[in-house]
Chains A and B, each alone.
Chain A
Amino acid sequence: MNRRPWVLFLFLIFMQVSVFNRVQWLGVFNPMVYAIVLLWLPLSWNRVFSMLIGFVVGWWIDSSFQSGGIHAMASVWLMYFKPFWVRFTVSSMQLQDNPDPDLRDIEIRSLVSYAGGLLLMHHTLLYTLEAFRWASLPSSIFKGSINTLLVSGLLWALIQWTRSLDSRKLQDNRY
Protein backbone atom coordinates (compact mmCIF):
# COMPACT_ATOMS: atom_id res chain seq x y z
CA MET A 1 0.00 0.00 0.00
CA ASN A 2 2.82 2.31 0.82
CA ARG A 3 4.22 1.85 -2.66
CA ARG A 4 1.44 3.96 -4.21
CA PRO A 5 2.68 7.21 -5.75
CA TRP A 6 0.52 9.45 -3.56
CA VAL A 7 2.13 12.68 -4.71
CA LEU A 8 1.38 11.69 -8.30
CA PHE A 9 -2.27 11.15 -7.36
CA LEU A 10 -2.57 14.68 -6.00
CA PHE A 11 -0.75 16.00 -9.04
CA LEU A 12 -3.15 14.17 -11.40
CA ILE A 13 -6.21 15.59 -9.65
CA PHE A 14 -4.66 19.04 -9.79
CA MET A 15 -3.90 18.56 -13.51
CA GLN A 16 -7.44 17.39 -14.15
CA VAL A 17 -8.93 20.49 -12.56
CA SER A 18 -6.47 22.99 -14.00
CA VAL A 19 -5.51 21.55 -17.40
CA PHE A 20 -7.50 18.57 -18.64
CA ASN A 21 -10.88 20.10 -17.85
CA ARG A 22 -10.10 22.69 -20.49
CA VAL A 23 -9.11 20.16 -23.15
CA GLN A 24 -12.04 19.78 -25.55
CA TRP A 25 -10.26 19.03 -28.80
CA LEU A 26 -12.70 18.32 -31.67
CA GLY A 27 -15.39 17.82 -29.06
CA VAL A 28 -14.12 14.26 -28.57
CA PHE A 29 -10.78 14.37 -26.77
CA ASN A 30 -11.57 15.17 -23.16
CA PRO A 31 -9.55 12.73 -21.04
CA MET A 32 -10.46 12.14 -17.39
CA VAL A 33 -7.04 11.48 -15.90
CA TYR A 34 -8.36 11.54 -12.34
CA ALA A 35 -9.79 8.07 -13.06
CA ILE A 36 -6.20 6.81 -12.95
CA VAL A 37 -6.05 7.83 -9.28
CA LEU A 38 -9.24 5.91 -8.47
CA LEU A 39 -7.94 2.92 -10.38
CA TRP A 40 -4.60 2.97 -8.62
CA LEU A 41 -6.02 3.24 -5.09
CA PRO A 42 -5.46 0.08 -3.00
CA LEU A 43 -7.88 -2.77 -3.42
CA SER A 44 -7.41 -3.73 0.20
CA TRP A 45 -9.30 -0.67 1.37
CA ASN A 46 -12.77 -1.17 2.73
CA ARG A 47 -15.21 -0.84 -0.14
CA VAL A 48 -17.37 1.66 1.78
CA PHE A 49 -14.32 3.84 2.34
CA SER A 50 -13.25 3.45 -1.31
CA MET A 51 -16.65 4.56 -2.53
CA LEU A 52 -16.61 7.58 -0.21
CA ILE A 53 -13.17 8.52 -1.55
CA GLY A 54 -14.48 8.07 -5.09
CA PHE A 55 -17.47 10.27 -4.32
CA VAL A 56 -15.31 13.02 -2.82
CA VAL A 57 -12.89 13.00 -5.77
CA GLY A 58 -15.78 13.02 -8.24
CA TRP A 59 -17.53 15.77 -6.35
CA TRP A 60 -14.34 17.84 -6.40
CA ILE A 61 -14.09 17.45 -10.17
CA ASP A 62 -17.82 18.23 -10.51
CA SER A 63 -17.35 21.44 -8.54
CA SER A 64 -14.70 22.61 -10.96
CA PHE A 65 -16.67 21.44 -14.02
CA GLN A 66 -19.99 22.73 -12.65
CA SER A 67 -21.41 19.44 -13.86
CA GLY A 68 -23.72 18.61 -10.96
CA GLY A 69 -22.78 15.11 -9.81
CA ILE A 70 -21.98 13.11 -12.93
CA HIS A 71 -18.29 12.65 -12.06
CA ALA A 72 -19.24 11.63 -8.54
CA MET A 73 -21.66 9.03 -9.94
CA ALA A 74 -19.15 7.65 -12.41
CA SER A 75 -16.42 7.54 -9.76
CA VAL A 76 -18.62 5.73 -7.24
CA TRP A 77 -19.54 3.27 -9.98
CA LEU A 78 -15.84 2.64 -10.71
CA MET A 79 -14.99 2.15 -7.03
CA TYR A 80 -17.95 -0.18 -6.47
CA PHE A 81 -17.13 -2.44 -9.40
CA LYS A 82 -13.35 -2.44 -9.02
CA PRO A 83 -13.20 -5.40 -6.58
CA PHE A 84 -15.58 -7.45 -8.78
CA TRP A 85 -13.75 -6.58 -11.95
CA VAL A 86 -10.32 -7.48 -10.65
CA ARG A 87 -11.50 -11.05 -10.04
CA PHE A 88 -12.49 -11.39 -13.68
CA THR A 89 -9.42 -9.85 -15.20
CA VAL A 90 -6.44 -10.57 -12.96
CA SER A 91 -5.34 -14.18 -12.57
CA SER A 92 -6.39 -15.86 -9.34
CA MET A 93 -2.80 -17.06 -8.80
CA GLN A 94 -1.58 -13.50 -8.67
CA LEU A 95 -4.43 -12.44 -6.38
CA GLN A 96 -3.61 -15.32 -4.01
CA ASP A 97 0.02 -14.21 -3.84
CA ASN A 98 -0.90 -10.56 -3.46
CA PRO A 99 -4.56 -9.69 -2.80
CA ASP A 100 -3.81 -6.00 -3.22
CA PRO A 101 -1.68 -5.81 -6.36
CA ASP A 102 -0.25 -2.50 -7.43
CA LEU A 103 -0.90 -1.64 -11.07
CA ARG A 104 2.84 -1.91 -11.67
CA ASP A 105 2.81 -5.53 -10.47
CA ILE A 106 0.01 -6.73 -12.73
CA GLU A 107 1.12 -8.42 -15.95
CA ILE A 108 0.38 -6.49 -19.12
CA ARG A 109 -2.52 -8.63 -20.46
CA SER A 110 -4.39 -8.48 -17.17
CA LEU A 111 -3.61 -4.80 -16.83
CA VAL A 112 -5.10 -4.01 -20.23
CA SER A 113 -8.36 -5.78 -19.45
CA TYR A 114 -8.51 -4.61 -15.83
CA ALA A 115 -7.60 -0.94 -16.26
CA GLY A 116 -8.93 -0.64 -19.82
CA GLY A 117 -12.30 -2.18 -18.86
CA LEU A 118 -12.79 0.02 -15.82
CA LEU A 119 -11.68 3.17 -17.64
CA LEU A 120 -14.02 2.37 -20.53
CA MET A 121 -16.92 1.83 -18.13
CA HIS A 122 -16.14 5.04 -16.26
CA HIS A 123 -15.73 7.19 -19.37
CA THR A 124 -18.74 5.77 -21.19
CA LEU A 125 -20.96 6.19 -18.14
CA LEU A 126 -19.68 9.70 -17.67
CA TYR A 127 -20.29 10.83 -21.26
CA THR A 128 -23.67 9.10 -21.33
CA LEU A 129 -24.70 10.94 -18.18
CA GLU A 130 -23.34 14.14 -19.63
CA ALA A 131 -25.33 13.82 -22.88
CA PHE A 132 -28.33 12.27 -21.10
CA ARG A 133 -30.22 11.22 -24.23
CA TRP A 134 -30.58 7.83 -25.90
CA ALA A 135 -29.76 9.20 -29.33
CA SER A 136 -26.30 10.21 -28.11
CA LEU A 137 -25.44 6.77 -26.75
CA PRO A 138 -23.33 5.68 -29.79
CA SER A 139 -21.38 8.94 -29.74
CA SER A 140 -20.91 8.61 -25.95
CA ILE A 141 -19.50 5.11 -26.42
CA PHE A 142 -17.22 6.39 -29.19
CA LYS A 143 -16.05 9.32 -27.10
CA GLY A 144 -15.57 7.01 -24.10
CA SER A 145 -13.48 4.58 -26.17
CA ILE A 146 -11.22 7.31 -27.61
CA ASN A 147 -10.59 8.87 -24.21
CA THR A 148 -10.07 5.46 -22.63
CA LEU A 149 -7.26 4.89 -25.14
CA LEU A 150 -5.73 8.26 -24.28
CA VAL A 151 -5.93 7.75 -20.51
CA SER A 152 -4.69 4.15 -20.85
CA GLY A 153 -1.69 5.45 -22.77
CA LEU A 154 -1.01 7.99 -20.06
CA LEU A 155 -1.42 5.31 -17.39
CA TRP A 156 1.09 3.08 -19.19
CA ALA A 157 3.56 5.94 -19.38
CA LEU A 158 3.09 6.74 -15.67
CA ILE A 159 3.57 3.09 -14.72
CA GLN A 160 6.81 2.95 -16.71
CA TRP A 161 8.00 6.23 -15.24
CA THR A 162 7.25 5.28 -11.61
CA ARG A 163 8.92 1.87 -12.20
CA SER A 164 12.06 3.59 -13.39
CA LEU A 165 11.90 5.94 -10.40
CA ASP A 166 11.57 2.94 -8.05
CA SER A 167 14.49 1.11 -9.62
CA ARG A 168 16.62 4.26 -9.39
CA LYS A 169 15.72 4.58 -5.70
CA LEU A 170 16.69 0.95 -5.14
CA GLN A 171 20.05 1.53 -6.81
CA ASP A 172 20.65 4.66 -4.68
CA ASN A 173 19.80 2.71 -1.53
CA ARG A 174 22.32 -0.01 -2.46
CA TYR A 175 25.09 2.48 -2.86
Chain B
Amino acid sequence: MGGLALWLFKYRSLALFILLESIGAWMTFSGVSYHRSRLNQFQIEIAGNYQYRIHRITRFMGLDEENIKLNQEITALKLQFSAKNGANDSIKGQIATSNQQGTLSPLQRNTFLWPDSGILLDFAAPARVVFCGLGNQQNYLLLDQGSLHGIQPRMAVLQGNKIAGQVQAVSEHFARVVPLIHTKMRTSALHPKSQTIASLVWDGFSTRYAELLDFPIHIPIKIGDSLVSSSYSAVYPPGLRLGRVDRVEIIPGAVTYKIRVVLATDYRQLDHVQVIRPALQSEREKILPQDLN
Protein backbone atom coordinates (compact mmCIF):
# COMPACT_ATOMS: atom_id res chain seq x y z
CA MET B 1 0.00 0.00 0.00
CA GLY B 2 2.83 2.31 0.96
CA GLY B 3 4.59 1.37 -2.28
CA LEU B 4 1.51 2.28 -4.28
CA ALA B 5 1.25 5.63 -2.50
CA LEU B 6 4.93 6.33 -3.25
CA TRP B 7 4.46 5.38 -6.87
CA LEU B 8 1.40 7.60 -7.16
CA PHE B 9 3.28 10.47 -5.53
CA LYS B 10 6.18 10.01 -7.92
CA TYR B 11 3.90 10.11 -10.94
CA ARG B 12 1.34 12.49 -9.45
CA SER B 13 1.28 14.77 -12.48
CA LEU B 14 0.54 11.91 -14.84
CA ALA B 15 -1.98 10.40 -12.42
CA LEU B 16 -3.76 13.72 -12.04
CA PHE B 17 -3.67 14.26 -15.79
CA ILE B 18 -5.35 10.88 -16.36
CA LEU B 19 -7.83 11.53 -13.57
CA LEU B 20 -8.82 14.97 -14.85
CA GLU B 21 -9.10 13.73 -18.44
CA SER B 22 -11.29 10.86 -17.22
CA ILE B 23 -13.51 13.27 -15.30
CA GLY B 24 -13.74 15.44 -18.42
CA ALA B 25 -14.66 12.41 -20.54
CA TRP B 26 -17.26 11.32 -17.98
CA MET B 27 -18.74 14.82 -17.93
CA THR B 28 -18.90 14.82 -21.72
CA PHE B 29 -20.44 11.39 -22.13
CA SER B 30 -22.91 11.81 -19.29
CA GLY B 31 -23.86 15.41 -20.05
CA VAL B 32 -24.03 15.62 -23.84
CA SER B 33 -26.56 13.40 -25.61
CA TYR B 34 -24.66 13.58 -28.94
CA HIS B 35 -21.47 12.23 -27.39
CA ARG B 36 -23.42 9.60 -25.47
CA SER B 37 -25.09 8.33 -28.63
CA ARG B 38 -21.76 8.39 -30.51
CA LEU B 39 -20.20 6.37 -27.71
CA ASN B 40 -23.05 3.88 -27.90
CA GLN B 41 -22.59 3.60 -31.65
CA PHE B 42 -18.87 3.13 -31.16
CA GLN B 43 -19.43 0.39 -28.58
CA ILE B 44 -21.87 -1.38 -30.90
CA GLU B 45 -19.39 -1.10 -33.77
CA ILE B 46 -16.54 -2.48 -31.67
CA ALA B 47 -18.67 -5.33 -30.31
CA GLY B 48 -20.02 -6.09 -33.79
CA ASN B 49 -16.55 -6.10 -35.34
CA TYR B 50 -15.24 -8.31 -32.57
CA GLN B 51 -18.10 -10.79 -32.96
CA TYR B 52 -17.70 -10.75 -36.73
CA ARG B 53 -13.99 -11.51 -36.49
CA ILE B 54 -14.56 -14.28 -33.98
CA HIS B 55 -17.24 -15.71 -36.26
CA ARG B 56 -14.89 -15.57 -39.24
CA ILE B 57 -12.12 -17.33 -37.32
CA THR B 58 -14.40 -20.09 -36.03
CA ARG B 59 -15.96 -20.45 -39.48
CA PHE B 60 -12.50 -20.69 -41.03
CA MET B 61 -11.43 -23.29 -38.47
CA GLY B 62 -14.55 -25.32 -39.22
CA LEU B 63 -14.04 -24.99 -42.98
CA ASP B 64 -11.90 -28.10 -43.17
CA GLU B 65 -14.59 -30.25 -41.66
CA GLU B 66 -17.21 -28.58 -43.85
CA ASN B 67 -15.18 -29.39 -46.96
CA ILE B 68 -14.97 -33.07 -46.03
CA LYS B 69 -18.70 -33.17 -45.45
CA LEU B 70 -19.36 -31.37 -48.74
CA ASN B 71 -17.12 -33.72 -50.69
CA GLN B 72 -18.85 -36.75 -49.18
CA GLU B 73 -22.23 -35.21 -49.83
CA ILE B 74 -21.38 -34.39 -53.47
CA THR B 75 -20.23 -37.95 -54.10
CA ALA B 76 -23.30 -39.39 -52.34
CA LEU B 77 -25.62 -37.09 -54.30
CA LYS B 78 -23.98 -38.01 -57.57
CA LEU B 79 -24.43 -41.69 -56.79
CA GLN B 80 -28.04 -41.14 -55.71
CA PHE B 81 -28.75 -39.07 -58.80
CA SER B 82 -27.31 -41.66 -61.12
CA ALA B 83 -29.23 -44.46 -59.41
CA LYS B 84 -32.58 -42.69 -59.72
CA ASN B 85 -32.45 -40.49 -62.80
CA GLY B 86 -29.77 -42.02 -65.02
CA ALA B 87 -28.95 -39.12 -67.32
CA ASN B 88 -27.83 -41.16 -70.27
CA ASP B 89 -30.80 -43.31 -71.17
CA SER B 90 -29.19 -44.91 -74.16
CA ILE B 91 -26.32 -46.33 -72.10
CA LYS B 92 -28.75 -47.32 -69.41
CA GLY B 93 -30.81 -49.06 -72.02
CA GLN B 94 -27.78 -50.90 -73.28
CA ILE B 95 -26.92 -52.04 -69.77
CA ALA B 96 -30.49 -53.18 -69.20
CA THR B 97 -30.49 -55.08 -72.50
CA SER B 98 -27.16 -56.67 -71.65
CA ASN B 99 -28.49 -57.59 -68.25
CA GLN B 100 -31.55 -59.20 -69.76
CA GLN B 101 -29.36 -61.16 -72.09
CA GLY B 102 -27.22 -62.18 -69.11
CA THR B 103 -24.04 -60.94 -70.78
CA LEU B 104 -22.82 -58.87 -67.79
CA SER B 105 -21.12 -60.34 -64.75
CA PRO B 106 -22.72 -59.67 -61.34
CA LEU B 107 -20.00 -57.11 -60.61
CA GLN B 108 -20.58 -55.27 -63.85
CA ARG B 109 -24.31 -55.11 -63.22
CA ASN B 110 -23.64 -52.65 -60.38
CA THR B 111 -22.64 -49.86 -62.73
CA PHE B 112 -23.92 -46.30 -62.57
CA LEU B 113 -23.59 -43.03 -64.42
CA TRP B 114 -21.36 -40.25 -63.13
CA PRO B 115 -23.55 -37.13 -63.46
CA ASP B 116 -22.55 -34.23 -65.73
CA SER B 117 -20.22 -36.42 -67.73
CA GLY B 118 -22.22 -39.45 -68.82
CA ILE B 119 -19.41 -41.72 -67.67
CA LEU B 120 -20.33 -45.23 -66.63
CA LEU B 121 -18.63 -46.27 -63.41
CA ASP B 122 -18.69 -49.18 -61.07
CA PHE B 123 -16.93 -47.51 -58.16
CA ALA B 124 -16.71 -43.99 -56.74
CA ALA B 125 -15.52 -42.74 -53.36
CA PRO B 126 -14.38 -39.42 -51.90
CA ALA B 127 -10.86 -39.12 -50.55
CA ARG B 128 -8.47 -36.56 -49.29
CA VAL B 129 -4.87 -35.90 -50.27
CA VAL B 130 -2.74 -36.28 -47.16
CA PHE B 131 0.63 -35.94 -48.86
CA CYS B 132 1.59 -34.28 -52.11
CA GLY B 133 5.27 -34.51 -53.04
CA LEU B 134 5.92 -32.03 -55.83
CA GLY B 135 9.63 -31.40 -55.73
CA ASN B 136 10.77 -34.49 -57.64
CA GLN B 137 10.82 -35.82 -61.17
CA GLN B 138 8.65 -38.72 -60.04
CA ASN B 139 6.04 -37.29 -57.75
CA TYR B 140 3.43 -39.11 -55.70
CA LEU B 141 0.26 -38.28 -53.86
CA LEU B 142 -1.04 -40.12 -50.83
CA LEU B 143 -4.77 -40.50 -50.19
CA ASP B 144 -6.39 -41.16 -46.83
CA GLN B 145 -8.49 -44.03 -48.22
CA GLY B 146 -7.19 -47.54 -48.83
CA SER B 147 -8.25 -51.06 -49.62
CA LEU B 148 -10.60 -51.12 -46.62
CA HIS B 149 -12.58 -48.36 -48.33
CA GLY B 150 -12.66 -50.19 -51.64
CA ILE B 151 -9.76 -48.39 -53.33
CA GLN B 152 -7.73 -50.54 -55.71
CA PRO B 153 -4.78 -49.93 -58.02
CA ARG B 154 -5.50 -48.53 -61.49
CA MET B 155 -8.43 -46.49 -60.31
CA ALA B 156 -8.63 -42.91 -61.56
CA VAL B 157 -8.27 -39.98 -59.20
CA LEU B 158 -10.31 -36.92 -60.14
CA GLN B 159 -10.89 -33.47 -58.85
CA GLY B 160 -14.40 -32.89 -60.11
CA ASN B 161 -14.10 -33.46 -63.85
CA LYS B 162 -10.35 -32.89 -63.88
CA ILE B 163 -7.88 -35.76 -63.94
CA ALA B 164 -5.37 -35.77 -61.07
CA GLY B 165 -3.73 -39.18 -61.51
CA GLN B 166 -4.18 -42.88 -61.01
CA VAL B 167 -3.87 -45.17 -58.01
CA GLN B 168 -0.65 -47.13 -58.12
CA ALA B 169 -0.68 -49.06 -54.85
CA VAL B 170 -2.88 -49.38 -51.80
CA SER B 171 -2.52 -50.29 -48.15
CA GLU B 172 -5.46 -50.82 -45.82
CA HIS B 173 -5.87 -47.14 -45.03
CA PHE B 174 -3.89 -45.31 -47.70
CA ALA B 175 -3.50 -45.21 -51.43
CA ARG B 176 -0.48 -44.08 -53.43
CA VAL B 177 -1.31 -42.10 -56.54
CA VAL B 178 0.84 -41.36 -59.56
CA PRO B 179 -0.14 -37.86 -60.71
CA LEU B 180 0.12 -36.46 -64.22
CA ILE B 181 3.25 -34.65 -63.06
CA HIS B 182 5.36 -37.81 -63.04
CA THR B 183 8.04 -38.12 -65.72
CA LYS B 184 7.19 -41.77 -66.38
CA MET B 185 3.49 -41.08 -66.77
CA ARG B 186 2.18 -40.97 -70.33
CA THR B 187 -1.48 -40.17 -70.74
CA SER B 188 -3.53 -40.43 -73.88
CA ALA B 189 -5.07 -37.03 -74.65
CA LEU B 190 -7.79 -36.13 -77.13
CA HIS B 191 -7.99 -32.80 -78.93
CA PRO B 192 -11.81 -32.62 -79.25
CA LYS B 193 -11.85 -30.03 -82.07
CA SER B 194 -9.90 -32.22 -84.45
CA GLN B 195 -10.57 -35.57 -82.74
CA THR B 196 -6.83 -36.14 -82.74
CA ILE B 197 -5.15 -38.24 -80.10
CA ALA B 198 -1.70 -37.43 -78.74
CA SER B 199 0.35 -38.16 -75.62
CA LEU B 200 0.56 -35.94 -72.59
CA VAL B 201 3.83 -36.17 -70.68
CA TRP B 202 5.41 -34.12 -67.95
CA ASP B 203 8.84 -32.67 -68.63
CA GLY B 204 9.81 -32.53 -64.97
CA PHE B 205 9.86 -28.75 -64.56
CA SER B 206 6.78 -26.73 -63.61
CA THR B 207 3.88 -28.49 -61.90
CA ARG B 208 1.45 -26.34 -63.90
CA TYR B 209 2.65 -27.37 -67.38
CA ALA B 210 3.06 -30.56 -69.39
CA GLU B 211 4.02 -31.35 -72.99
CA LEU B 212 1.74 -32.72 -75.67
CA LEU B 213 3.72 -35.05 -77.92
CA ASP B 214 3.03 -36.59 -81.31
CA PHE B 215 0.51 -34.01 -82.43
CA PRO B 216 0.81 -33.91 -86.25
CA ILE B 217 1.78 -30.57 -87.77
CA HIS B 218 -0.87 -30.69 -90.51
CA ILE B 219 -3.73 -30.56 -87.97
CA PRO B 220 -4.66 -27.07 -86.77
CA ILE B 221 -4.43 -26.44 -83.04
CA LYS B 222 -4.76 -23.15 -81.23
CA ILE B 223 -3.80 -21.70 -77.88
CA GLY B 224 -6.68 -22.21 -75.47
CA ASP B 225 -7.93 -25.44 -77.07
CA SER B 226 -8.96 -27.93 -74.43
CA LEU B 227 -7.59 -31.44 -74.09
CA VAL B 228 -9.52 -34.30 -72.55
CA SER B 229 -8.88 -37.94 -71.80
CA SER B 230 -9.32 -40.22 -74.75
CA SER B 231 -11.18 -43.48 -74.94
CA TYR B 232 -7.84 -45.29 -75.38
CA SER B 233 -7.17 -45.26 -71.66
CA ALA B 234 -8.49 -48.09 -69.53
CA VAL B 235 -7.92 -46.11 -66.34
CA TYR B 236 -9.48 -42.75 -67.19
CA PRO B 237 -12.98 -42.55 -68.58
CA PRO B 238 -13.10 -40.50 -71.81
CA GLY B 239 -13.96 -36.80 -71.82
CA LEU B 240 -12.37 -35.78 -68.53
CA ARG B 241 -10.37 -32.56 -68.55
CA LEU B 242 -6.59 -32.79 -68.79
CA GLY B 243 -5.71 -29.20 -69.59
CA ARG B 244 -5.61 -26.62 -72.36
CA VAL B 245 -3.06 -25.61 -74.94
CA ASP B 246 -0.85 -22.83 -73.64
CA ARG B 247 1.86 -22.51 -76.31
CA VAL B 248 2.31 -23.98 -79.79
CA GLU B 249 5.71 -24.02 -81.45
CA ILE B 250 6.60 -25.19 -84.92
CA ILE B 251 10.04 -26.70 -85.11
CA PRO B 252 11.56 -26.50 -88.59
CA GLY B 253 11.83 -29.90 -90.17
CA ALA B 254 9.73 -31.64 -87.51
CA VAL B 255 6.49 -33.46 -88.31
CA THR B 256 4.89 -32.68 -84.95
CA TYR B 257 4.29 -29.52 -82.98
CA LYS B 258 5.98 -28.68 -79.71
CA ILE B 259 2.97 -27.96 -77.52
CA ARG B 260 2.92 -26.78 -73.95
CA VAL B 261 -0.22 -27.59 -71.99
CA VAL B 262 -1.39 -25.92 -68.81
CA LEU B 263 -2.76 -28.70 -66.64
CA ALA B 264 -6.35 -28.50 -65.43
CA THR B 265 -5.42 -29.75 -61.98
CA ASP B 266 -3.46 -27.43 -59.75
CA TYR B 267 -1.47 -29.85 -57.62
CA ARG B 268 -0.47 -27.15 -55.18
CA GLN B 269 -4.11 -26.74 -54.18
CA LEU B 270 -5.20 -30.33 -54.39
CA ASP B 271 -7.08 -31.48 -51.32
CA HIS B 272 -10.42 -33.19 -51.85
CA VAL B 273 -10.59 -35.74 -54.68
CA GLN B 274 -12.78 -38.57 -55.94
CA VAL B 275 -11.52 -42.03 -56.73
CA ILE B 276 -13.43 -43.74 -59.51
CA ARG B 277 -13.24 -46.83 -61.66
CA PRO B 278 -14.78 -46.92 -65.11
CA ALA B 279 -17.25 -49.73 -65.68
CA LEU B 280 -15.98 -52.85 -67.35
CA GLN B 281 -12.37 -51.88 -66.71
CA SER B 282 -11.25 -55.35 -65.69
CA GLU B 283 -12.95 -56.98 -68.66
CA ARG B 284 -11.32 -54.47 -70.98
CA GLU B 285 -7.88 -55.01 -69.50
CA LYS B 286 -8.20 -58.78 -69.69
CA ILE B 287 -8.83 -58.83 -73.39
CA LEU B 288 -5.89 -56.57 -74.28
CA PRO B 289 -2.33 -57.84 -74.18
CA GLN B 290 -0.73 -56.86 -70.84
CA ASP B 291 1.84 -54.48 -72.37
CA LEU B 292 -0.85 -52.35 -74.02
CA ASN B 293 -2.65 -51.46 -70.80
User: Are A and B physically bound partners?
Assistant: yes
Question: By the criterion CB–CB under 8 Å, are A69 and B28 in contact?
Answer: yes
Number of residues from A at the complex interface, CB < 8 A: 21
A66 to B23, CA, bound (A): 15
Total interface residues on B, using CB and 8 Å? 19
Interface string of A26-52 (1 = CB under 8 A from B): 000000000000000000000110011
CB pair B13–A51 under 8 Å, yes or no, is yes
| Inter-subunit contact B29/A68 (CB<8 Å) | yes
A133 nearest CB neighbor, chain B only: B38
How far does the alpha carbon of A51 sit from the alpha carbon of B13 in the complex, in Å? 8
Q: A70 on the interface (CB 8 Å rule)?
A: yes
In the complex, identify which listed stretch (A14-22, A73-81, A105-113) lies at the interface while the others stay far away: A73-81
**Structural contact, A69 and B27, CB atoms closer than 8 A:** yes
Given the complex, which residues of A lie within 8 Å of B21, measured CB to CB? 73, 76-77
Task: Name the residue on B nearest A76 (C-beta).
Answer: B20
Contacts of B38 in A (CB 8 A): 132-133
Give residues of chain B (1-46) contacting chain A, Cβ–Cβ below 8 Å.
12-13, 16-17, 20-21, 23-32, 34-35, 38
> B27 is contacted by which of A51, A52, A72, A132 (Cβ under 8 Å)?
A72
A residues in contact with B26, CB < 8 Å? 69
A73 to B17 CA separation, bound complex (whole angstroms): 9
Summarize A's interface: helix, strand, loop or mixed: helix
CB atoms of A80 and B17 under 8 A apart: yes
- Residues from chain A with a CB closer than 8 A to the CB of B25 are 69, 73
A52 / chain B contacts, CB cutoff of 8 Å: 16, 20
The yes or no answer to A55 lying at the interface (CB within 8 A) is: yes
Q: Is A67 an interface residue (CB 8 A)?
A: yes
Within the complex, which residue of B13, B31, B35 is in contact with A132, where a contact is CB–CB below 8 Å? B35
B30 to chain A, nearest CB (A): 7
Please state if A68 and B30 are interface contacts (CB–CB under 8 Å). Answer: yes
Is A144 close to B, CB under 8 A?
A: no
- The chain B residue sitting closest to A47, CB to CB, is B13
A47 to B20, CA, bound (A): 13
A68 to B32, CA, bound (A): 6
Chain A residue at minimum C-beta to C-beta distance from B12: A48
Who on chain A is nearest to B27 by CB?
A: A69
- What's the minimum C-beta distance from B23 to chain A, rounded to whole angstroms? 7
- Report how far A48 CA is from B35 CA in the complex, Å: 28
- A129 sits at the interface (CB 8 A): yes
Known A-B contacts A62-B27, A69-B27; the reply to A51 vs B35 at CB < 8 A is no
A140 → B minimal CB distance (Å): 14
Nearest A residue (CB) for B14: A80
Given contacts A72-B23, A73-B24, A76-B24, contact A67 B16 (CB under 8 A): no
Task: Give A58's nearest chain B residue, CB to CB.
Answer: B24
Contacts of B30 in A (CB 8 A): 68
Q: Which residue of A lies closest to B13 (CB)?
A: A47
Q: How far is the CA of A165 from the CA of B175 in the complex (A)?
A: 100
Q: In angstroms, how far is the closest chain B Cβ from the Cβ of A36?
A: 20
- Assess the A67–B12 pair: CB atoms within 8 A: no
CA distance A140 to B249 in the complex (A): 64
**Do A51 and B17 contact each other (CB < 8 Å), given the known contacts A67-B32, A69-B31, A132-B38?**
yes
- List 24 A–B pairs whose Cβ atoms lie within 8 Å, in order of A's numbering: A48-B12, A51-B16, A51-B17, A52-B16, A52-B20, A55-B23, A62-B27, A66-B32, A67-B28, A68-B24, A68-B30, A68-B31, A69-B25, A69-B31, A72-B20, A72-B23, A72-B24, A73-B21, A76-B17, A76-B21, A77-B21, A80-B13, A80-B17, A129-B28
What 8 new A-B contacts, CB under 8 Å, besides A69-B31, A72-B23, A80-B13?
A52-B16, A66-B31, A73-B20, A73-B21, A76-B20, A76-B21, A132-B34, A132-B38
